[in-house]
């Protein structure tokens, strides 16, 4: 059925409302740097794992009865002049254009973990928005199309469309038509896989990832070195996932994250996200591994939180050992989670 959104009758009686839940994801081989900032095209491909209990739930409704857009994020009504408002507005226009309509939009969204602090909140936020728009507007997009469009909200959101282990392909074409993510293995593939998220501070980070990425590409002399080693990391990471080899996976992920931070630290002016708890966690995990032969490996995104890659049989030992670091505000244990899904309970 082709819906004509200009038909007044249909607009009054049709509910263009949907709610989606998307989990965040943690990159095991990071996305860092854009070859095209407008189309959000990365210089390098990346591999992530979608996490099971760090999520965003979002309800959207397009309505003729709304006098203006209304975006409520974590109980806060956004002002039209805010960057976040424009990001959601611009993102919604992609889907409105696909549907051939231009109604006002209400969005209510909640994320169950600290946002803008290096926990990839934009990944779950824009993946949930994309899926909710798709359903509300009956667009019937495929997963690959959803991933491609989610990318325009935030690059890492392209990966949160899927559960389990996911690869976002950088693509070769200038128009980005081959730039989307695909699932490598689903969320049930490796039941013992764990990520321990250590919240070292719920404060927002001082430089947004988008700006940090831009500055690194433009000013770090290490950026080319980063690009030269990423392909190898990607190939080896896929092998480690295929073999369920936690040691190889952890070592590649840890080294990849530290290389990414080396490009940030050598940017001008430098971007150093780590706080004292971040550093203590890094050193403790290295000690756990070297002295006690525990399979634990760190990864850190554009922020101060530390995520520890380990397995179900080691997780309690890791957590107990790290509980001495009093600055850590919260530990969250996570396993591979599902991709984005539509739910029937709305937030309004
Ligand atoms: C990642 N990060 O692969 C990398 C590692 C942070 C460090 O993707 O500009 O919010 O919206 O595409 O996706 C965070 O950056 O950036 C990110 P935009 P995004 O997860």
How many domains does the structure of the chain reveal?
2
Pocket test for ligand 1, best of 155, 168, 197, 265 (most atoms within 8 A of CB): 155
The verdict on 159 and 183 lying in the same domain is yes
CATH code, domain carrying 133? 3.30.230.10
Q: Is the CB of 155 under 6 A from ligand 1?
A: yes
Pocket test for ligand 1, best of 45, 122, 216, 299 (most atoms within 8 A of CB): 122
The verdict on 223 and 176 lying in the same domain is no
Q: Is 340 a domain residue? A: no
Q: Is the CB of 122 under 6 A from ligand 1?
A: yes
Q: Is 339 a domain residue? A: no
HSE (side-chain half, CA atoms, 13 Å) at 324: 9
Q: Which residues pair with 26 in a beta bridge?
A: 49
**pTM reported for the whole predicted model:** 0.95
Q: Is the CB of 120 under 6 A from ligand 1?
A: yes
Q: What is the 3-state secondary structure (H, E, C) of the chain?
A: CCCCCCCHHHHHHCCEEEEEEEEEEEEEECCCCEEECCCCEECCCEEEEEEEEEEEEEEEEEECCCCCCEEEECCEECCCCCHHHHHHHHHHHHHHHHHCCCCEEEEEEEECCCCCCCCCHHHHHHHHHHHHHHHHCCCCCCHHHHHHHHHHHCCCHHHHCCCCEEEECCCCCCCCCCCCEEEEECCCCCCCEEEEEEECCCCCCCCCHHHHHHHHHHHCCCHHHHHHHHHHHHHHHHHHHHCCCHHHHHHHHHHHHHHHHHHHHCCCCCCCCCCHHHHHHHHHHHHHHHHHCCCCEEECCCCCCEEEEEECCCHHHHHHHHCCCCCCCEEEEECECCCCEEECCCCC
Q: Is 135 a domain residue? A: yes
Dig out the tokens for 17 from the structure. Answer: 């409302």
CATH code, domain carrying 222? 3.30.70.890
Q: Is the CB of 195 under 6 A from ligand 1?
A: no
Ligand 1: nearest atom to the Cα of 40: 12
Question: Which residues are within 8 A (CB) of 115 and not within 5 positions of it... i.e. 6 or more apart?
Answer: 74, 121, 125, 204
Burial of residue 206 (CB within 10 Å: 0-12, 13-18, 19+) is exposed
Residue 33 is predicted with a pLDDT of: 98
Q: Is 256 a domain residue? A: yes
* Closest Cα to atom 11 of ligand 1: 154
Question: Which residues are within 8 A (CB) of 53 and not within 5 positions of it... i.e. 6 or more apart?
Answer: 23, 112, 332, 334, 337
- For residue 342, report the distance from its CA to the centre of ligand 1, in Å: 24
Q: Is the CB of 40 under 6 A from ligand 1?
A: yes
Q: What sign results for the dihedral spanned by CA atoms 197, 300, 153, 193?
A: negative
Dig out the tokens for 324 from the structure. Answer: 């001495």
Q: What share of the chain has pLDDT > 90, as a percent?
A: 91
Q: Is 343 a domain residue? A: no
Q: Is 342 a domain residue? A: no
The verdict on 217 and 155 lying in the same domain is no
3, pLDDT greater than 70: no
The alpha carbons of the chain give a radius of gyration, in whole angstroms, of 20
Domain termination site, one of 140, 162, 189: 189
Give Cα separations from 156 to 173, 186, 208, 244 (angstroms). Answer: 19, 18, 14, 23
Q: Which domain holds residue 182?
A: 2-189
The verdict on 170 and 258 lying in the same domain is no
Domain termination site, one of 148, 172, 189: 189
The verdict on 267 and 316 lying in the same domain is yes
Q: Is the CB of 46 under 6 A from ligand 1?
A: yes
Token pair 């150093």 is at which residue?
A: 272
113 — pLDDT class (breaks 50, 70, 90): confident
310 within 8 A of 295, measured Cβ to Cβ: yes
6 — pLDDT class (breaks 50, 70, 90): low
The size of the chain, in residues, is 348
2, pLDDT greater than 50: no
Q: Is 347 a domain residue? A: no
- For residue 13, report the distance from its CA to the centre of ligand 1, in Å: 39
- Distance from C-alpha of 30 to C-alpha of 47, rounded to nearest angstrom: 7
Summarised one tens digit per residue, pLDDT across range 168-182 is 999 999 999 999 999
The verdict on 169 and 51 lying in the same domain is yes
* Closest Cα to atom 20 of ligand 1: 27
Summarised one tens digit per residue, pLDDT across range 33-92 is 999 999 999 999 999 999 999 999 999 999 999 999 999 999 999 999 999 999 999 999
The verdict on 283 and 231 lying in the same domain is yes
The verdict on 185 and 152 lying in the same domain is yes
The verdict on 91 and 116 lying in the same domain is yes
The verdict on 214 and 281 lying in the same domain is yes
- Distance from C-alpha of 272 to C-alpha of 302, rounded to nearest angstrom: 9
Domain termination site, one of 137, 154, 189: 189
191, pLDDT greater than 60: yes
- For residue 31, report the distance from its CA to the centre of ligand 1, in Å: 6
Token pair 């309509």 is at which residue?
A: 101
The verdict on 267 and 309 lying in the same domain is yes
Of 237, 236, 205, 323, nearest to 26 (Cα)? 237
The verdict on 202 and 67 lying in the same domain is no
Summarised one tens digit per residue, pLDDT across range 203-228 is 877 899 999 999 999 999 999 999 99
Q: Is the CB of 209 under 6 A from ligand 1?
A: yes
Q: Is 345 a domain residue? A: no
Q: Is the CB of 121 under 6 A from ligand 1?
A: no
Q: Which residues pair with 105 in a beta bridge?
A: 62
């Amino acid at each position: 059925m082709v819906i004509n959104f200009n038909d007044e009758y249909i607009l009054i009686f049709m509910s263009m409302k949907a709610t989606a839940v998307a989990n965040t994801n943690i990159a095991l081989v990071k996305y860092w740097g854009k070859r095209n900032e407008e189309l959000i095209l990365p210089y390098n491909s990346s591999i992530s794992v979608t996490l099971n209990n760090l999520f965003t739930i979002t309800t959207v409704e397009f309505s003729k009865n709304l006098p203006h857009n209304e975006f409520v994020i974590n109980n806060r009504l956004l002002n039209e002049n805010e960057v976040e408002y424009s990001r959601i507005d611009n993102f919604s226009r992609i889907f409105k254009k696909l549907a051939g309509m231009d109604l006002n939009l209400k969005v209510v969204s909640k994320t169950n973990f600290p946002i803008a602090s290096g926990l990839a909140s934009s990944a779950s936020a824009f993946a949930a928005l994309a899926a909710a728009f798709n359903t509300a507007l009956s667009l019937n997009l495929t997963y690959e199309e959803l991933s491609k469009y989610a990318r325009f909200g935030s690059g890492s959101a392209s990966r949160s469309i899927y559960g389990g282990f996911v690869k976002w392909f950088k693509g070769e074409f200038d128009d980005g038509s081959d730039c989307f993510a695909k699932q490598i293995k689903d969320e049930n593939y490796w039941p013992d896989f764990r990520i321990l998220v250590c919240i070292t501070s719920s404060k927002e980070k001082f430089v947004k990832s988008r700006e940090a990425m831009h500055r690194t590409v433009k000013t770090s002399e290490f950026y080319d070195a980063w690009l030269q080693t990423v392909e190898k990391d990607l190939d080896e990471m896929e092998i480690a996932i295929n073999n369920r080899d936690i040691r190889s996976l952890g070592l590649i992920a840890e080294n990849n994250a530290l290389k990414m931070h080396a490009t940030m630290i050598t940017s001008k002016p430098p971007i150093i996200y780590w706080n004292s708890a971040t550093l203590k966690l890094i050193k403790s995990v290295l000690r756990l591994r070297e002295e006690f032969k525990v399979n634990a490996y760190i990864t850190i995104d554009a922020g101060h939180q530390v995520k520890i890659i380990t397995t179900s049989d080691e997780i309690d030992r890791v957590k107990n050992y790290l509980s001495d670091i009093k600055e850590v505000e919260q530990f969250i244990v996570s396993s591979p989670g599902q991709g984005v899904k539509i739910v029937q309970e709305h937030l309004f």
